Structure 1
Amino acid sequence: MTRSLSLVESATGAQVAARSLGLVAEPADLDDLMDGSGAGPLECEISWAGPVDLPLSDERAVQAACGIMHVHGRAAGRPAPLAVDYASAAAGVLAAQGILAAWIARSRGVRVTSVRTSVSQAALLVLAQYLGAATADDDWREPTVPGSSTFVSADGVRFEFETLDPQRWLRFWTRLGADPAAAKRGWRPFQERFATATCPLPPELHETVRRTSFTTVRAAADGAGASVLPVREDPGPPAPARPWTLAPFPDQGSSGLPGQRKSAEAGPVSDRPLAGIRVIESTRRVQGPMAGHILWMLGADVVRIEPPGGDPMRGIPPIAGGCSARFSALNAGKSVTEADITTAEGRRTVHELVSGADVFLHNWAPGKAAQLRLDADDLRRTRPGLIYAWASGWGDSLGSSSPLGTDFLVQAHSGLAAALRPADEPPAPSLMTLTDVLGGLVCAQGVLAALLARIRTGHGGRVDSSLYSAATVLPRPARRAEWTALDRPLRTEDGYLALGREARERPEHLAAATGLGACAGITEITSQLRNLPTAFWSRRLAEAGLTATEVCADLRQLARDPRFSRALSVGEHVFPLAPWEFS
């Protein structure tokens, strides 16, 4: 299937897609099985801009134009690039998903010869929650005060702290002797950092930690029932890992998928290759809902199981059309069944839903499925051939006593927190939810691989993925990047510019283009750029043959920009459109 990667502008995207597809079994009879329609080879294109009408030619330009620099930089109070090819890696996973979905569609008699996606569409998709919140049709506005949730102990240990319980939060700070009022004020920005990408904690809390050894901090966290992990300084992943694993069930169930047929005449092209496939989803927050969202965008019928009264995340502002915009960004289009799965009646409801489904997806805490008697073995007895998918935090990588499996702890421990920042900045997780989103993408890809395997073998299976395994998808340098001021967005009179490669690496050309002598230093160049607007400098540099991209500083701008109109849907808030084109 890696032969399908035909036109690829992003080397990182191609690398990630090829590795992802390499995990999928490719038997000798694959062409006979999948290509009974005679549709010919399947090709995949990964471009930079896709339907975005901008001259984007590298990862840095995409991060600038599509808002990643803006969201990642909120905690620092200025736009900042990620020092890893995050959008390209996400595009690589999307490409692999598109290829798998196309093969599934072919097995059902649908004519598909090519799949197209782009790094820009990947960037917009990973920002779906932030776009939704920024463009909601109410008067609520996100807090944008800078702030970090990375702490430094008295003995110099940089660490991440995590709890999802306000009482444990207060117990932790009480054990450290922090000001109780500051601890109470700190809970809200700490809790909301997953949504806002910034965490303006009261300064007293950071000061308390700076007076305390890490040993004491860890003991306080253990006593409070919270989690603490040091931030690794090595940017490389700690060990090679598969993004997802598939364990086939021994019993044979369905011999294929709904509507599967082989014929000499393929049906018409469809942008919904998973139409007719039913997914039951019991998920919360980001990772699990994102996996279901991907399957829904590919055409699956997705049913959410929510507690009586609905998922509490539905009521979190900003509200758009009566529902949280953030929640809607990942769950719109899914149908809902309410059930208390902790009761016998609720579990019967789950079994009833699963009896007519192809996939069951959850991201429950470790051990909860077994406790509820809703594990893989329980549900596959109800539905032979079921694909059972668990999107976890750590998988089995840290054993039975693993800390909370949340985004920022995973970034800290996996080395991603070090890799995504240059060497002259201390390692710290991005407060943009990088592994949550990538974890959802990886889980969805595992489900697609399992559906394809079921077509070949008739066997269902269990798909396991985690935030930790998703973090290893991102290619990392062996050493942290070395940056100058030109590698960061440069201030203009009214905004920021992100320079292209030649302008960054040949400052003498940049100096000449800005009207300075070729010997002008970086400080002079950056000062000169502050004197005139972004639009002026964009034209001037383009005339000099240098690329530069205006940095999106407000996600609401994207909804109003006609150059993004073919990639975004504007309603009660902005939705990224499905990031694949099938033909």
Structure 2
Amino acid sequence: MASPATTQTVRPLDTMGFHASGPPQITDVVAEHLRLLGARSDGPAADAPPGRVTLCGGGFEPGHATVTWAEPGSGLVDEATVQAATGMMAVHGRRDGSPRGLAADYAATATGILAVQGLLAGLVGQARGTGPTHITAGADRAGLLAVSQYLAAAGADEGEAAELAPGGPPFTSAEGVLFELETLDPGAWAAFWRALGAPADAMRAGWRPFQFRYATACAPFPRALHSVTRSHPLPRIRQAAALSGAEVCVLRTLAERALETDGAAPWSLRPLPGGPAPSGPRTTVSRTTVTPSAGRPLAGLTVLEAGRRIQAPLAAHLLGLLGAEIIRIEPPGGDPLRGMPPACSGISARWLALNRGKQAVEVDIKAESGRRRLREMAAEADVFLHNWAPGKAAELGLDADDLARVNPALVHAYTSGWADRLQDAPMGTDFMVQARTAVGEAVRPEGEPPAPSLMTLLDVLGGLHGAEAVLAGLLLRERTGHGVRVDSSLLGAADTLTGPALRRAARGQDARRPAGFRHPLPTADGWLAPADACAGAAAAYDLRDLSTSDAVALLSAHGLAATAVTTDLSALHHDARFAGQIGRDAHGAPAVPAPWSLV
């Protein structure tokens, strides 16, 4: 067990080393994040089994992470087959009307971050008494986590909030410039389109699918709206946005993003002012005296979460799976998203996917009495996590330095859109960040127009970064005896996802994947996705008259790996590739398994 009082520590993994082997799409992410957290690379271990990361030193028992694509025998052997089986191809393809693979290695990236989370959680548990020394993270579970909200909606008691049909942004100006439009205000939406002379019926019909596109992964609004933007030059479109309160963001290229990226870590950690936090187990600041265990290394810690939508709630959800007590701070009357259709037992299935098992306390932070109550709660907590608008925490007197005065041991975590790293940043929503950081180009292969995915790629990946940052902050607290402010962002998530493409662009290579990359093949009754290494050979076969199962068997007989593409997410409950993994919660909503196992 490590001593928590190592005052020389600047980063949570300083004085530690690691070695890694396994799928580079996964282990490269693990290695990069461990290095950024302070660990040194000791190179590959000669006797390490495939897919193993070992972290040691600093007075801790060695931690081991096994990273895999999927359970043995599932037929899922790489990024393409994992995307196909978990439903990621189906959700990402809704905008286009058929399944499509993400040209970026999304499942592998998520798996790498989850593996780092598990290693950090193990060290936090060890510092507090006991914790896991071996974790397993699979890309199949990471993929299920990525689609968990869409899976929950597919298995709900009622239909979706908006139509599931092809369509959506980006829009195109008269010069042929692709851009994203964003507003959360129906008045600003209407004013923008009126300024451009859009038909009133198209403007009205377009709002609901646009509003719910983050939930449905498609936006089938009238084509007339696309025609309107094509009739105006970009300066006129920008003027309409400025006058209405809406925002536009031109899609950047990977080459442009590579020139401006600063190479910063996807999160930052800053020790908080005030006296040192108590050393040893945090019973003096925790709301409970529960002893941590290998499977629940955060047991006995309390997280206050003031989060909306996806990013912060998902981060807190993951911390809860690791054993922390999660207390949601909701406005008077409760979170309005609890009622968002579709519902299970009267509660939004999508809301349950991120918030089941959390306690909820209603606090009016607009009132001084509410802010005082929140400060009192923070004084007894271990983590305060929020994703409020930039500057709101300071305005309310609830920023990291404010809360450090009542609890010097607090880890104050902020999950934002931009982390104040870009001067000209637009609104920090998933789709605007995708547009500004060239994710729209990275997820489409060469020869296709760039288009940000309408699957909430960065909100989910940003939530994973948020949980990773909190765990790093908790470990740093244990090693230094001081509270910590941690900041993570959708921008950091975008740079992690596009990192390989940005490095190719910086070397002057083709940043995008080749034409046709990860395009599923049609069969008589569905779709089939070959493994990336087998795609070229598989394309030579005409599979359109074969059932999907027969097509998979045919390719397998010729030594080519492939799997069926999941198009109906509700069928995942009975999919043999995930036998026993997907269940239902107390409300009947579909529930995906924890993304790692810890022993």
Give TM-score scaled by structure 1 length.
Answer: 0.90
Kept after mapping to 2: 8 A contact 1:491/1:529: yes
Cα deviations by residue, 1:118-174 (Å, 9 ceiling, x for unpaired): 111111111111111111133558632100210000011100010001001111111
Correspondence 1:164-183 to 2 at 5 A:
164-183=184-203
State the secondary structure of the residue aligned to 2:158: coil
Q: Amino acid of the residue matched to residue 470 of structure 2?
A: V
Deviation, 1:268, is: 9.1
Percent identical pairs in the alignment equals 46
Instruction: Supply the distance in 1 between the matched residues of 2:350 and 2:476 (Cα, whole angstroms).
Output: 34
State the secondary structure of the residue aligned to 1:476: helix
Distance 1:117 1:405, change over 3 A: same
Q: Amino acid of the residue matched to residue 17 of structure 1?
A: V
Aligned to 2:594: 578
Aligned to 1:20: 33
Instruction: Supply the distance in 1 between the matched residues of 2:341 and 2:511 (Cα, whole angstroms).
Output: 37
Correspondence 1:18-57 to 2 at 5 A:
18-26=31-39, 34-35=59-60, 40-50=61-71, 54-57=74-77
Instruction: Supply the distance in 2 between the matched residues of 1:389 and 1:348 (Cα, whole angstroms).
Output: 19
Do structure 1's residue 136 and structure 2's residue 159 form an aligned pair? no
Which residue, out of 538, 547, 562, partners 1:548?
Answer: 562
Do structure 1's residue 247 and structure 2's residue 270 form an aligned pair? yes
Which residue, out of 441, 444, 456, partners 2:467?
Answer: 444
Structure 1: unaligned runs, 5 residues or longer: 261-266, 512-524
Aligned to 1:522: none
Deviation, 1:484, is: 4.8
Correspondence 1:152-551 to 2 at 5 A:
152-234=172-254, 237=258, 238-239=260-261, 240-251=263-274, 252-258=276-282, 270-399=294-423, 402-474=425-497, 475-477=499-501, 478=504, 479-485=510-516, 487-506=518-537, 511=540, 525=541, 528-551=542-565
Correspondence 1:101-140 to 2 at 5 A:
101-138=121-158
Instruction: Supply the distance in 2 between the matched residues of 1:202 and 1:100 (Cα, whole angstroms).
Output: 48
Instruction: Supply the distance in 2 between the matched residues of 1:574 and 1:73 (Cα, whole angstroms).
Output: 22
Instruction: Supply the distance in 2 between the matched residues of 1:486 and 1:470 (Cα, whole angstroms).
Output: 23
Kept after mapping to 2: 8 A contact 1:392/1:405: yes
Instruction: Supply the distance in 1 between the matched residues of 2:293 and 2:398 (Cα, whole angstroms).
Output: 37
Instruction: Supply the distance in 1 between the matched residues of 2:443 and 2:550 (Cα, whole angstroms).
Output: 31
Deviation, 1:105, is: 1.0
Aligned to 2:106: 86
Instruction: Supply the distance in 1 between the matched residues of 2:577 and 2:253 (Cα, whole angstroms).
Output: 40
Deviation, 1:273, is: 1.0
Q: Amino acid of the residue matched to residue 201 of structure 2?
A: A
Cα deviations by residue, 1:459-510 (Å, 9 ceiling, x for unpaired): 0111111111111112332224354557410110000011124432336xx6
Q: Amino acid of the residue matched to residue 227 of structure 1?
A: E
Structure 2: unaligned runs, 5 residues or longer: 1-12, 41-54, 285-290, 505-509
Kept after mapping to 2: 8 A contact 1:4/1:44: no
Instruction: Supply the distance in 2 between the matched residues of 1:332 and 1:248 (Cα, whole angstroms).
Output: 32
Kept after mapping to 2: 8 A contact 1:541/1:548: yes
Cα deviations by residue, 1:409-460 (Å, 9 ceiling, x for unpaired): 1011101111110111001100001111111111111111110011111101
State the secondary structure of the residue aligned to 2:132: coil
Kept after mapping to 1: 8 A contact 2:87/2:567: yes
Kept after mapping to 1: 8 A contact 2:131/2:296: no
Instruction: Supply the distance in 1 between the matched residues of 2:418 and 2:441 (Cα, whole angstroms).
Output: 19
- Give the CA RMSD over aligned residues: 2.1
Instruction: Supply the distance in 1 between the matched residues of 2:389 and 2:159 (Cα, whole angstroms).
Output: 35
Do structure 1's residue 62 and structure 2's residue 93 form an aligned pair? no
Instruction: Supply the distance in 2 between the matched residues of 1:185 and 1:343 (Cα, whole angstroms).
Output: 38
State the secondary structure of the residue aligned to 2:76: coil
More moved, 230-239 vs 170-179: 230-239
Instruction: Supply the distance in 1 between the matched residues of 2:140 and 2:283 (Cα, whole angstroms).
Output: 33
Instruction: Supply the distance in 1 between the matched residues of 2:472 and 2:533 (Cα, whole angstroms).
Output: 40
Kept after mapping to 1: 8 A contact 2:17/2:39: no
Cα deviations by residue, 1:360-382 (Å, 9 ceiling, x for unpaired): 01100011111111111111111
State the secondary structure of the residue aligned to 2:373: helix
Instruction: Supply the distance in 2 between the matched residues of 1:71 and 1:136 (Cα, whole angstroms).
Output: 17
Distance 1:485 1:413, change over 3 A: closer
Deviation, 1:576, is: 1.3
Kept after mapping to 2: 8 A contact 1:280/1:302: yes
Deviation, 1:107, is: 1.4
Instruction: Supply the distance in 2 between the matched residues of 1:550 and 1:193 (Cα, whole angstroms).
Output: 26
Aligned to 1:517: none
Which residue, out of 74, 89, 96, partners 1:76?
Answer: 96
Distance 1:481 1:403, change over 3 A: closer
Cα deviations by residue, 1:37-83 (Å, 9 ceiling, x for unpaired): xxx42211110004x85121110110011111000000000000000
Instruction: Supply the distance in 1 between the matched residues of 2:162 and 2:282 (Cα, whole angstroms).
Output: 43
More moved, 343-352 vs 18-27: 18-27
Give TM-score scaled by structure 2 length.
Answer: 0.88
Aligned to 2:9: none
Deviation, 1:211, is: 0.2
Deviation, 1:270, is: 2.6
Kept after mapping to 1: 8 A contact 2:64/2:133: yes
More moved, 168-177 vs 475-484: 475-484
Deviation, 1:6, is: 4.8
